[in-house]
């Protein structure tokens, strides 16, 4: 999708496709170093993390498995409900595994703190988080995040997996929406 196709819906481009790629290179190098000799289970949280999963996993050099979970905390709006439901659970047994959650964004942190606790209760060797985006000013709970791509302002963002009412996920960059789209 070209920017011009949705240009009227966007207020700004916050992070370009190139900036995302460069940052993922750096994050992957760090993860490769940290997990040397380990068999990583990369867990993606549907649907927002699909782009991060695809682009981060291809930059990792050691053998890994990928699994998916779907949780819901938002509905189609822009505010966190704090209520997390498992819509699709992992297929994998986590016993003794080194689990790395790949996420698109940590906003209030409610979803991730719940998810980390849930996965830790399944007997893994470790559970860490790699997120492309984090909104420090929106944090409601402290989440210990090992890898962060970008800290961003407390604004609703779309693109690169992130949606508003299921749209804009296929934008290759991160942008902010013009107020008329959601007001
Ligand atoms: P919390 O608040 O629990 O949010 O950290 C986690 C999930 O909420 C979605 N989310 C967003 N989606 N633009 C989006 O398109 C945003 O700015 C945004 N903030 C939160 C997202 O699914 C995330 O995993
Ligand atoms: Mg998400």
Number of the ligand 1 atom closest to the C-alpha atom of 104? 24
Q: Domains of the chain (ranges plus CATH)?
A: 18-154 (3.40.50.2020)
81 lines ligand 1 (CB under 6 A): no
With contact defined as beta carbons under 8 Å apart, do 143 and 130 qualify?
no
User: Rounded to an integer, what distance in angstroms lies between the CA atom of residue 106 and that of residue 132?
Assistant: 9
Q: What is the pLDDT of residue 183?
A: 77
The band of 85, judged by pLDDT with boundaries at 50, 70 and 90, is confident
pLDDT in tens, 88-144: 999 999 999 999 999 999 999 988 999 999 999 999 999 999 999 999 998 899 899
110 lines ligand 1 (CB under 6 A): yes
The candidate with the shortest Cα–Cα distance to 150, out of 11, 14, 7, 8, is 14
With contact defined as beta carbons under 8 Å apart, do 16 and 22 qualify?
no
Listing from the earlier edge strand, what are the strands of the sheet with 98-106? 85-88, 64-72, 40-46, 98-106, 126-134, 147-151
150 lines ligand 1 (CB under 6 A): no
Does residue 63 register a pLDDT over 70?
A: yes
Task: Determine which residue's CA is closest to atom 17 belonging to ligand 1.
Answer: 156
């Amino acid at each position: 999708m070209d920017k011009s196709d949705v240009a009227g819906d966007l207020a700004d481009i916050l992070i370009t496709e190139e900036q995302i790629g460069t940052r993922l290179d750096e994050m992957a190098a760090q993860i490769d170093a940290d997990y040397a000799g380990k068999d990583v289970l990369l867990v993606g949280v549907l649907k927002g993390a699909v782009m991060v999963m695809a682009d981060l996993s291809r930059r990792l050099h050691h053998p890994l498995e990928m699994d998916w979970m779907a949780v819901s905390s938002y509905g189609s709006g822009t505010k966190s409900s704090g209520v997390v439901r498992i819509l699709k659970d992992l297929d994998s047994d986590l016993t003794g595994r080194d689990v790395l959650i790949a996420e698109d964004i940590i906003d209030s942190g409610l979803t991730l703190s719940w998810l980390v606790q849930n996965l830790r209760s399944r007997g893994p060797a470790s559970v860490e988080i790699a997120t492309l985006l984090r909104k420090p000013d929106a944090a409601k709970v402290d989440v210990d995040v090992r890898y962060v791509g970008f800290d961003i302002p407390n604004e609703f963002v779309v693109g690169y997996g992130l949606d508003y009412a299921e749209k804009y996920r296929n934008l290759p960059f991160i942008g902010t929406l013009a107020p008329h789209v959601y007001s």
